[in-house]
Structure 1
């Protein structure tokens, strides 16, 4: 398979900006990416994000891939790395977990702590750049908005949504008002 002339031609055409060649590469290797993500037992949304990150990385590095015939191995390695990134991120405290309310029958102190966290989160959210605020608001809308619709509304590629979401959430987690409260929740 390393001497697959069709693959080499597709990569060369995609490097030249041929959208049909790019689409053919994605169609050809999307099942590989999906299968790797399934082996890591990722949820559907995480599979979408990991896959989008793989394709984004390929867009960024397509011109630097020296051996086009080795592309399947590169895609598999990148997919595994993205799955591991998603799994590592899952181990951190989630912003959504951070907002969980007190248990039924909780004390006034528990309620106050939840309110304090919500206020800090709203303040940190207000400090995010407008693009992050809009993206996160659309991603956490109820009912969930499809990536294609978010892409159209924000004028960004579907493949860029997951990585941008991760950067926005990371920035939110680093907000000085949230750091002590997040550490408290994780502890």
Structure 2
């Protein structure tokens, strides 16, 4: 039991295993608290948001499609619960886009949770990229990482016809998307399942 994966813990917890549930909560409680505290709710509201986040997980345990993204799911859910509590209490909930347009950097700077999630997504993309065949890796390095490269130069470097650079690039990007398990982006996995 000591070295069960998050996926195995979720499966066991969804079947009523209290120890697995406790381990999931223990592993992620500090992350959820960090999100809740970042919203500066009073202690009662913070406790409500914290507890409701875990309730949402109980309700959705069998719907978690990407157990490796549980932390992102919890962050998103905790943030939504904090905003719901703030709205319920009639608090003004700042819109980050409005704040950015008004020049308030405090609302546009990513916090530690957002930075952690961004890093996690970068690592996920890198791991998927490393699973691509070498020819796709080379092509994407030349066409995506160095966007100013002309297709004629890429074709010459990879010894391929110029007319096949674009279509091959699209196929490689499609394969990368499939490896990420999402039709649009790795960030899509961080959205909570719909009820």
Q: If the TM-score is normalised by the length of the shorter chain, which range does it land in?
A: 0.3 to 0.5
Bigger RCO (CA 8 Å, 6+ sep):
1
TM-score by length of 2: 0.43
Larger Rg: 2
Give the TM-score normalised by structure 1. Answer: 0.45
